[in-house]
Copies of this chain bind each other. A is one copy, B any other.
């Protein structure tokens, strides 16, 4: 029944790489509307016009599949955020922040799905999420010319959580101008990192 998607076409045979890419792509398209872990093999296979079995040929487990989808989403985000090579150091963090807000403005549900899905309990997915956050912290600390010690990592990671939450709710209900938001976020980060983590 799932077999030949169109009666006219005898059967379409793709290369392994193409098929994998197609399946991940379908996952990405479904991501905004469905929590990653709730993607059903049936649905994905149906959209791809293939049988369930074939999906298991490429991803030996459902978890392996949606982890791949999550990683693809994370890579898209990173690619969008990371500063273009040659950007002056002092512009890198502001630029990333600005692009981050833009990203959330453009794909609010998609972003929510990624951030939320991260916590969804599955260690594999969380790992991808943590890895992404880790790489962003690294870039931030490097370009801010700050030592990469445990304390500062913790503070910047917590600031990420702050940023994700605030930007998320700000997009839903803009309580200040975009510039004020960016200034506030940068200000909090500055104070956290230059204070050596201690108040007063």
Q: Give the B-binding residues of A (Cβ under 8 A).
A: 35-38, 113, 115-122, 126, 150-151, 154-155, 157-166, 169-170, 173, 175-176, 180, 183-184, 186-188, 191-192, 197-200
- Assembled-state Cα–Cα distance A155/B181 (Å): 11
**Smallest CB separation, A63 vs chain B (Å):** 12
What is the chain B residue whose CB lies nearest that of A175?
Answer: B151
Residue from the list B117, B151, B162 in contact with A162, Cβ < 8 A: B162
Residue from the list B113, B115, B161, B200 in contact with A187, Cβ < 8 A: B200
**Smallest CB separation, A155 vs chain B (Å):** 7
Given A151-B176, A180-B198, A199-B186, A35:B120 Cβ within 8 A = yes
- Assembled-state Cα–Cα distance A184/B198 (Å): 6
**Smallest CB separation, A16 vs chain B (Å):** 30
Q: Inside 8 A of A120's CB, which chain B residues have their CB?
A: 35, 116-117, 119-121
Given A37-B121, A119-B120, A161-B165, A154:B173 Cβ within 8 A = yes
Top 9 A-B residue pairs of the complex, sorted by shortest distance between their CB atoms: A35-B121, A187-B199, A119-B119, A161-B165, A158-B166, A116-B119, A162-B162, A151-B175, A120-B120
